[in-house]
């Protein structure tokens, strides 16, 4: 069974701090990884994608991928109350398939 695992949280951080969200995956064939943000009752929206080992930065967000350790993380710098949401990690389908595997999500609370 291919899985993506996340700590469900909630992860509470003070405003202005760095929030660190982590995800592990079991399918070594996964080619791509995505972080989606989902507000309560809303649909997920993509905030970061990463395909290669290392770091990828976009504004206040940094995604990190370590394929040897099968580990993906998302760092949110200068956290704001508006960042409070559930963050879903997803592994892209193994090459040739279209099945994205989602984790259960980590709920982030940024305290003002």
Structure token digits, residue 34: 């995505």
Q: For residue 102, state whether it binds another protein (rule: CB under 8 A).
A: yes
Q: For residue 65, state whether it binds another protein (rule: CB under 8 A).
A: no
| Stretch near another protein under the rule CB under 8 A, chosen from 35-43, 53-61, 62-70, 75-83 | 35-43
Instruction: For residue 4, give the H/E element and its range.
Output: strand 4-5
Q: Which of 12, 26, 31, 80 contacts another protein by CB under 8 A?
A: 31
Query: Strand, helix or coil at 9?
Result: coil
Assess contact for 37 and 45: CB atoms under 8 A: yes
Q: What is the CA radius of gyration of the chain?
A: 13
CB nearer another protein, residue 5 or residue 78: 5
Q: For residue 97, state whether it binds another protein (rule: CB under 8 A).
A: yes
CA dihedral 88, 13, 109, 56 (to 10 degrees): -30
Q: For residue 92, state whether it binds another protein (rule: CB under 8 A).
A: yes
Binding site for another protein (CB under 8 A): 4, 8, 31-32, 34, 41-46, 49, 51, 88, 90, 92-100, 102-105
């Amino acid at each position: 069974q291919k899985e993506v695992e996340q700590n469900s949280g909630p992860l509470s951080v003070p405003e202005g701090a760095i929030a660190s969200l982590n995800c592990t995956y079991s399918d070594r064939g996964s080619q791509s990884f995505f972080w989606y943000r989902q507000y309560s009752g809303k649909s997920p929206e993509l905030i970061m994608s990463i395909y290669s080992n290392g770091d990828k930065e976009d504004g206040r967000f940094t995604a990190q991928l370590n394929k040897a350790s099968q580990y993906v993380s998302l760092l949110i710098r200068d956290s704001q109350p508006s960042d409070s949401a559930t963050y879903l990690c997803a592994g892209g389908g193994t090459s040739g398939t279209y099945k994205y595997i989602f984790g259960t999500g980590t709920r982030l609370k940024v305290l003002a």
